[in-house]
């Protein structure tokens, strides 16, 4: 991308480190000046979003990795500071900038204690997630992957609900076990590449040239698959997620579901599948079974939930199953659908968790049996929540419909009538969302909580959700706006697979 001037030649580093500059500014403000801390954190996250925007206009979908930066880092290990993005890297970087900004804005009045540390952890978290989506060096990728765990652990553990310490430790243990497996996979590629080429490197493009036997590919793919499946999370490795979501503060839940889960899906399509195509092909039956089990299991558990937030958490397991199901088809349509579903889920789930936070904040509870008739007191909030639920259940014209329909179409191409299994989830999803909506927002006003002081959502609660809903509608009607970036990147993966 030479010839664009210094700023565009280093645009990814600028995007990556803008939240850190905001963090430095935040550190200089005394903790007692709470309003100044809030304004600084919001401006930092806004700047983090704004510097992402030029990428959209300068990116050429016809080319592979762009805005590539390369600098020496640890020469003795063959590790470099190497950044670059392709189509789905671009989408996830933009999503990180957007959700980072909106989640910080939505928590304007949600947190009362240790404000400075709270915002600082969010800015560090943003740096880690951006690094994962930009890294073209696997050691750098791993460092950013691990960096993400630390702020999320503290966000859940300090500002979470009553069982926050339990949830934070469970989150840490599960994800660290996944990380160890992923590191084993990276080291297997690293040492095997050295054995064949006598060069130590973590450069992903070079590691893809490594020739592994079919059996070796199978074992290494298992290591990557389990490492990434914990993060997605796939059944049966999902049990950390509901606890983490229920206990995390609202903004933490938004980033956890909207972005951290995407790291697993991104890792599969960026690292595991292209570098180990034979191993991936052998694993197709396992991937398909795990995906369908996650879709149905998550949906069934949603029916039994009394807590709005826990219901949305289990729905994430169900909807992320569609990502893996799309990948398992190894067709152009299926993989594009899987990546698009990640993007769609990021937008929709952010709306749902923000609205769960609004209900908790205004009513003092998220328990569905204790709520009822809230639309009379909170018409704006009820409208936004209804649209969020309809988007998540796949209403045509909203973003999830396009994604899930494409996954079903690609599955029908490969496995024809087995499609009846995941398609059952559509009816179950409609059931649990509409039932929850009817019990919490409509009908007679509840007498189980004091409703006299309940008021509608504030501007800093409704504005972020409204922005997301506009995007959900735009990308639902015009999914080609997103496909033009995903499609060429997926073609490369499919050509490596020898499929299409």
- Note if the bond before 233 is cis, omega within 30 degrees: yes
Same domain for 29 and 176, yes or no, is: yes
Same domain for 268 and 319, yes or no, is: no
Same domain for 263 and 306, yes or no, is: no
Element (H, E) at 401: helix 399-415
Return contacts of 449-453, CB within 8 angstroms, 24+ apart.
449/363, 449/364, 449/365, 449/370, 449/371, 451/363, 451/377
Same domain for 245 and 148, yes or no, is: yes
Distance (Å, whole) CA 434 – CA 271? 38
Segments in the chain below pLDDT 50: 1-3, 499-500
**Domain housing 367:** 283-500
Specify the residue for token string 């300090």. 158
Report pLDDT digits (tens) over 36-86. 888 888 898 899 899 988 888 888 888 888 888 888 888 888 888 989 888
Same domain for 335 and 259, yes or no, is: no
Burial class (CB in 10 A: 0-12, 13-18, 19+), 185: buried
Whether 490 and 412 have beta carbons less than 8 Å apart is answered as no
Of 245, 279, 313, the position where a domain reaches its end is 279
Report pLDDT digits (tens) over 415-452. 887 878 878 888 888 888 888 888 888 877 777 776 67
Total structural domains in the chain?
2
DSSP per-residue string spanning 258-276: IIIHHHHHHHIIIIIHHH-
Same domain for 365 and 274, yes or no, is: no
Nearest to 250 by CA among 15, 397, 461: 461
Of 253, 279, 305, the position where a domain reaches its end is 279
Specify the residue for token string 């996944």. 178
Same domain for 466 and 417, yes or no, is: yes
Same domain for 321 and 260, yes or no, is: no
Nearest to 393 by CA among 302, 260, 259, 294: 302
Buried-exposed string 418-454: b where 16+ CB fall within 10 A, e elsewhere: ebebbeebbebbbebbeebbebbbeeeebeebebeeb
Q: Which residues contact 146 (CB under 8 A, 6 or more apart)?
A: 179
Same domain for 129 and 248, yes or no, is: yes
Report pLDDT digits (tens) over 185-194. 999 889 988 8
Report pLDDT digits (tens) over 327-351. 888 888 888 998 999 989 989 999 9
User: Quick one: pLDDT at residue 257?
Assistant: 84
Same domain for 263 and 390, yes or no, is: no
Of 234, 252, 279, the position where a domain reaches its end is 279
User: Quick one: pLDDT at residue 1?
Assistant: 42
Same domain for 192 and 305, yes or no, is: no
Same domain for 275 and 288, yes or no, is: no
């Amino acid at each position: 991308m030479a010839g664009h001037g210094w700023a565009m030649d280093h645009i990814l580093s600028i995007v990556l480190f803008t939240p850190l500059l905001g963090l430095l500014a935040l550190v200089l403000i005394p903790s007692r000046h709470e309003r100044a801390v809030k304004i600084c954190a919001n401006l930092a996250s806004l700047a983090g979003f704004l510097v992402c925007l030029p990428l959209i206009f300068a990116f050429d979908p016809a080319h592979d990795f762009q805005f590539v930066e390369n600098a020496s880092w640890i020469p003795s290990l063959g590790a470099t500071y190497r950044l670059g993005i392709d189509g789905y890297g671009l989408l996830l970087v933009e999503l990180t900038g957007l959700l980072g900004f909106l989640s910080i804005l939505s928590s304007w009045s949600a947190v009362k204690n240790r404000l400075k540390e709270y915002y600082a952890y969010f800015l560090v978290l943003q740096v880690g997630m951006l690094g994962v989506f930009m890294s073209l060096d696997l050691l750098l990728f791993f460092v950013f992957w691990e960096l993400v765990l630390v702020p999320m652990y503290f966000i859940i553990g300090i500002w979470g609900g009553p069982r926050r310490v339990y949830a934070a430790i469970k989150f840490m243990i599960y994800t660290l076990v996944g990380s160890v497996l992923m590191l084993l996979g990276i080291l297997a590629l690293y040492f095997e590449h050295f054995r064949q080429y006598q060069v130590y490197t973590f450069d992903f493009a070079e590691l893809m040239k490594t020739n592994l036997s079919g059996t070796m590919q199978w074992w290494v793919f298992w290591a990557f698959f389990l490492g990434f499946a914990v993060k997605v999370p796939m059944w049966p490795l999902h049990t950390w997620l509901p606890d983490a979501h229920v206990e995390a503060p609202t903004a933490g839940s938004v980033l956890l579901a909207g972005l951290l889960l995407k790291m697993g899906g991104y890792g599969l399509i960026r690292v595991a599948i292209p570098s180990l195509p034979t191993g991936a092909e052998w694993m197709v039956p396992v991937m398909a079974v795990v995906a369908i089990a996650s879709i149905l299991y998550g949906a069934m558990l949603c029916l039994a939930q009394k807590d709005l937030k826990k219901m949305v958490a289990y729905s994430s397991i169900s909807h992320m199953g569609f990502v893996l199901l799309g990948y398992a088809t190894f067709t152009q349509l299926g993989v594009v659908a899987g990546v698009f579903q990640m993007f769609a889920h990021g937008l929709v789930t952010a709306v749902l968790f923000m609205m769960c936070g609004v209900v908790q904040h205004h009513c003092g509870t998220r328990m569905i049996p204790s709520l009822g008739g809230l639309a009379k007191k909170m018409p704006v909030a009820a409208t936004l929540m209804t649209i969020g639920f309809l988007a998540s259940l796949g209403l045509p014209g909203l973003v999830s419909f396009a994604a899930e329909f494409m996954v079903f179409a690609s599955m029908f191409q490969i496995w024809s009538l087995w499609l009846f299994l995941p398609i059952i989830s559509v009816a179950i999803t409609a059931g649990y969302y509409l039932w929850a909506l009817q019990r919490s927002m409509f009908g007679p006003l509840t007498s189980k909580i004091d409703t006299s002081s309940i008021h509608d959502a504030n501007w800093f609660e409704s504005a972020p959700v409204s922005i997301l809903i506009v995007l959900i509608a735009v990308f639902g009607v015009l999914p080609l706006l997103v496909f033009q970036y995903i499609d060429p990147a997926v073609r490369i993966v499919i050509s490596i697979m020898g499929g299409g």
